[in-house]
Amino acid sequence: MTGTEHTAGSSRRATGLATLDRRWIYLALAAAIALSIVARIRFPDTPSPLVQAAYDRVETLPPGASIVMALDYSPSSRPELEPMAFAIARHAMLRGHRLILLSTWDTGNAMIARLCTEVLRREFPERREGEAWVALGYKSGNEMLINAIRQDFDSMYASDMEGRSCADLAVLAGVESLADCTLIVSLSSGTPGLKEWVLFAGDVTGVPVVGGSTGVGTPEFLPYFPRQIRGLLGGLKGAAEYEAALELGHPDFHQRTMAATDGMGPQAVAHSLIVLFIVLGNVGLLLQRRQRRGT
């Protein structure tokens, strides 16, 4: 290739890269994810220290410990947080703990109902509702809800989601407020969420907090680890790592669904594509700079 041809070629490439229609990028991303879903690409995972700390916290509680699990998320973040909720609920049931489910999000009732139907009732029929777990549901007020139940569950929850009196539930025996619980698990996709559980519950009562967050929120919770948050699951990867930890720790237990582990294959493919986009974008920039210098 002569010098002129080379310049013209790189110029075309630079222009092409700079003016690429965004819809090609959309198509490439959708196609890559769709193909990897259909091909069922799956990778094994291992728990990172942050996730292992969360797992160990649940694992080492004495059987019968009462865990408050707040499902503070909505359908928009369900893909990341629901696998965490499923895995932690399974773990708690396997270890014989008591689960108290509630939410500070209005969409929380639907999320709690899914957990009850898909995991608690289906996989652990011997662990009865009202004895091993209770779904208290959503109440308005955001962090003020946390503040109210920090002092007295009864001030906000006289009955569970189905309308049963909380006073008659064995699962709540000896649990009058958040301070009486052994562990708080907050699965959060925004405000109110993990931060509010740390500020208004964990740091005030001294009850340890374990958190799960969407990928977007994860970095901002790092400063709380390990003193104010005892373990942290970050995004789908964190959920997949918890599934892996549960598989390693309880090899006899078969997890009926492992949505996070299944999702990490397409996730890895999409990440690689995004990295490719970043590299291509910068190559385009370099070519343009070179072209400008040439003219």
Partner 1 sequence: MRSRAPQLLVAAVGILLVLTAFVPRPAPGAGNAWQGFFAYIDENFSVWFNIMAVFAFGLGAASLLGVHGGRVRRRGRDWPYSLATLLAFGVTLLVGLLKLGGPPGLTGDPADSASILGRIFAAVVSPLQASMFALLAFFVASASYRAFRVRTREASALLAAALVILIGRTPFGSALTQWLPEPLAFLRLERLSLWIVQVPNLAGQRAIMIGIALGVVAMSLRLILGLERGVLGKERP
Partner 2 sequence: MSGGLHLSSSVEVWVGAALTLMVFSYLWRDNPFYKLAEHVFVGVSAAYVMVLGFWTTLWPNAIAKLWPGAARLTTPEAVEPTHDWALLLPVILGLLMLGRLHPRTVWLSRWPTAFAIGTSAGYNLVRYLRSDFLAQIHSGMTPSLIATTGGRLALGESLSHAILLGGTICGIVYFTYTRQHRGAWARVAGTGVLFMMVTFGTTFGYTVMARISLLVSRLHFLLGTWLGLI
Nearest in space to 117 (alpha carbons), one of 101, 131, 103: 101
Name the CA dihedral angle for 214, 220, 226, 227, rounded to a multiple of 10 degrees: -120
Residues numbered 38-97 forming contacts with partner 2, rule: CB under 8 A: 38-40, 76-80
d(CA 157, CA 112): 16
By the 8 A CB rule, do 187 and 212 touch?
Answer: yes
Interface segment toward partner 1; rule CB under 8 A; list 58-66, 71-79, 121-129, 249-257: 71-79
Q: Which amino acid is at 116?
A: C
Provide the terminal-to-terminal Cα distance of the chain, rounded to the nearest Å. Answer: 19
Residue from 14, 66, 78, 87 touching partner 1 (CB under 8 A): that is 78
Q: How far is the CB of 123 from partner 1 (least distance, A)?
A: 18
- Residue 158's contacts (CB-CB under 8 Å, 6 or more residues apart) are 165, 166, 167
64 or 282: CB nearest partner 1: 282
Nearest in space to 37 (alpha carbons), one of 97, 79, 93: 79
61 or 200: CB nearest partner 1: 200
Pick what 292 binds: partner 1, partner 2, none; C-beta below 5 to 8 Å, kind-dependent: none
Residue 62 interacting with partner 1 (CB under 8 A): no
d(CA 137, CA 160): 7
Q: Which two tokens stand for residue 267?
A: 């996730």
Interface segment toward partner 2; rule CB under 8 A; list 84-92, 179-187, 234-242, 279-287: 234-242
d(CA 169, CA 129): 9
d(CA 29, CA 269): 9
Residue from 20, 37, 53, 65 touching partner 1 (CB under 8 A): that is 20
Residue 29 interacting with partner 2 (CB under 8 A): yes
Contacts with partner 1 by CB under 8 A lie at 20, 22, 25-26, 29-30, 43-45, 48-49, 74-79, 107, 109-110, 113, 117, 137, 139-142, 144-145, 147-148, 151-152, 155-156, 161-163, 219-220, 222-223, 235, 237, 264, 267-268, 270-275, 277-278, 280-282, 285
Contacts with partner 2 by CB under 8 A lie at 23, 26, 29-30, 33-34, 37-40, 76-80, 106, 109, 137-141, 143-144, 147, 156, 158-159, 163-168, 198-200, 203-204, 214-216, 218-220, 223-224, 227-228, 234-237, 263, 266-267, 270-271, 274
